[in-house]
Amino acid sequence: MEIQNITKLQNGSDIRGVAMEGVEGEHITLTQDMAMKIAYAFSKWLKVKTGKDSLSVAVGRDSRLTGPNLAQAVCLGLVSDGGHVYDCGIATTPAMFMTTLDPEMDCDGAVMITASHLPFNRNGIKLFTKDGGLNKEDIAEILEQAETIVTEFKIGGKREDCAFIPRYAANIVRMIREATGEETPLQGAHIIVDAGNGAGGFFAEGVLAPLGADTRGSQFLDPDGHFPNHIPNPEDQDAIDAIRRAVIDNQADMGIIFDTDVDRSAVIDEKGDAINRNGFIAFIASMLLEKYPGTTIVTDSVTSTGLTEYIESLGGHHHRFKRGYKNVINEAVRLNEHGVETHLAMETSGHGAIRENYFLDDGAYLVTMALIKFAQLHKAGKPLSVFLKDLKEPAEAKEYRFKIGAEDFKAYGQEVLDGFRKFAEEQPGWSIVEPNFEGIRVNCEKDAGNGWCLMRMSLHDPIIPLNIESDEAGGCEKIKAAIDVFLKDYPELEG
């Protein structure tokens, strides 16, 4: 029997691999046969979880070139175990989860075939139940089962095509109409969408147009797995530059950009300035604090001091946690379970989950909230740019990444962090931030760089990232110069 390294496809709560040739040195690690086995194992696992003998599962995919073949394989794996499969074609990750909650669909589970913003040759599989995305322990169990499967896949269930995205879009339209009390709250507004040739192109004609918006100038709406224009990633500077140019050239009031599978997003104001990273967190947090005064906002570890001050100025509490969107979401769930009212879990990457939306990682829902606020501002004759005028942005922000050359990189990385803590304690004008849940975070007084720094271990790679922000020009270099003295004692760090 051919040995397949299916378990090696796990990356936290994601399943990802190289699905096609095309990049030198990268060989295929995710095949159709593997996808069938993973789907079959998911079906077996889901039957145990639900106690059902017969399941209904929705399957969707983003625009990647390998999507159709992998979707076909996943469908075969599911129907081989007797499942009723709804093949949704090109869809979004949030929409696939919603198939489990939609009263008409009422699926027991869902599968989304995507690798988010990774290069064209990659692909992956996300698995959902009615409780949300599976955690890494469940993924590990399913992949271990998949690796042991020896079966001839035969059709035992039923597969049917399902156009779910139009229904999903109609639900977003309904939400915005109800929140604003108007049928066409975006009438007279010019809003541009950049889908990056991913799965989010439906948003222009399926959501914005019915609400009255002028969407002329929207770009890269057609799905194309070659991603010929830019990486569909709201964190990528080329992507942000593309939507900024479109907003400015078309004199639009707002721009919206999605990643490949629409679980991340960002917004551009009428000046072409990006509302992303700390700004997007502040935007969504401010809306939720209007609705839920005093709520806690959970973010990843690299958020700015200015964001903390902004949240606190609105009466909220900022709980800065770890990198990794699943870590942030799970922490928000944990806080709620322990009596700490928490309505938003959001990363600077654009991943964001809201309690009222099942803590689903949902870029379209975040944009929906932004559109509601935009409609209110537009009606009052105010531009989008005024909304975050009180958020203090750093004068400089830099990230450095140091590769660990030591064989046991985790042990060496911990040694570096332990050493950095001692070093920071001795630096004049530096103070270690507590509580802190990832790495070593230091506040630097005005004479010591006027900002902060964070040294931490990467979640999965032999890398130590160093983030530095300063409220003055040249401040980052001042902080980095002090850290360079420390780094000389660690020859296994490169970068």
- One domain, residues 127 and 236: no
- One domain, residues 125 and 243: no
pLDDT digits (tens, 9 = 90+) for 91-106: 999 999 999 999 999 9
- Going from the C-alpha of 33 to that of each of 37, 70, 73, 126, 438, the distances in angstroms are 6, 9, 7, 17, 39
Quick check: is 103 in a domain? yes
- One domain, residues 267 and 362: yes
- One domain, residues 244 and 370: yes
Selection from 61, 65, 63 nearest residue 75 by Cα: 61
Instruction: Indicate the DSSP class of residue 320.
Output: E
- One domain, residues 121 and 219: no
Q: What is the pLDDT of residue 68?
A: 99
Which amino acid is residue 201, in one-letter code? G
**Containing structural domain, residue 75:** 6-162
pLDDT digits (tens, 9 = 90+) for 331-370: 999 999 999 999 999 999 999 999 999 999 999 999 999 9
Quick check: is 464 in a domain? yes
- One domain, residues 145 and 183: no
- Look at residues 108, 135, 162 and tell me which one is the last residue of a structural domain: 162
Give the up-direction half-sphere exposure of residue 26: CA atoms within 13 A in the CB hemisphere: 14
pLDDT digits (tens, 9 = 90+) for 185-205: 999 999 999 999 999 999 999
- One domain, residues 319 and 334: yes
Selection from 165, 219, 169, 216 nearest residue 196 by Cα: 219
Q: What is the mean pLDDT of residues 281-292?
A: 98
Quick check: is 174 in a domain? yes
Q: For residue 77, what is the domain's CATH number?
A: 3.40.120.10
Selection from 177, 382, 379, 370 nearest residue 268 by Cα: 370
Per-residue pLDDT band for 30 (boundaries 50, 70, 90) equals very high
Proportion of the chain above pLDDT 70, given as a percent: 99
- One domain, residues 459 and 370: no
Report the mean per-residue pLDDT for the chain: 96
- One domain, residues 57 and 146: yes
Quick check: is 193 in a domain? yes
Per-residue pLDDT band for 155 (boundaries 50, 70, 90) equals confident
Per-residue pLDDT band for 152 (boundaries 50, 70, 90) equals confident
pLDDT digits (tens, 9 = 90+) for 417-442: 999 999 999 999 999 999 999 999 99
How many other C-beta atoms are found inside a 10 Å radius of the C-beta of residue 68?
A: 14
Query: Which secondary-structure segment (H or E) carries 364?
Result: helix 363-379
- One domain, residues 245 and 356: yes
Per the structure block, which two tokens stand in for 6? 């299916």
Q: For residue 407, what is the domain's CATH number?
A: 3.30.310.50
Total domains in the chain come to 3
- Rounded Cα distance, 230 and 237, in Å: 10
pLDDT digits (tens, 9 = 90+) for 67-87: 999 999 999 999 999 999 999
Quick check: is 1 in a domain? no
Q: What is the mean pLDDT of residues 281-294?
A: 98
- One domain, residues 319 and 436: no
- Rounded Cα distance, 252 and 191, in Å: 6
- Look at residues 125, 145, 162 and tell me which one is the last residue of a structural domain: 162
Cβ–Cβ under 8 Å, residues 462 and 403: yes
Quick check: is 301 in a domain? yes
Selection from 63, 4, 1, 12 nearest residue 36 by Cα: 4
Pairing state of beta strands 274-275 and 265-268? antiparallel
- Rounded Cα distance, 336 and 53, in Å: 34
Selection from 199, 147, 161 nearest residue 72 by Cα: 161
Q: What is the pLDDT of residue 38?
A: 98
How many other C-beta atoms are found inside a 10 Å radius of the C-beta of residue 334?
A: 13
Quick check: is 216 in a domain? yes
- Look at residues 362, 386, 410 and tell me which one is the last residue of a structural domain: 386
Quick check: is 391 in a domain? no
pLDDT top residue among 460 and 391: 391
- One domain, residues 232 and 299: yes
pTM reported for the whole predicted model? 0.93
Cβ–Cβ under 8 Å, residues 125 and 113: yes
Instruction: Indicate the DSSP class of residue 190.
Output: B
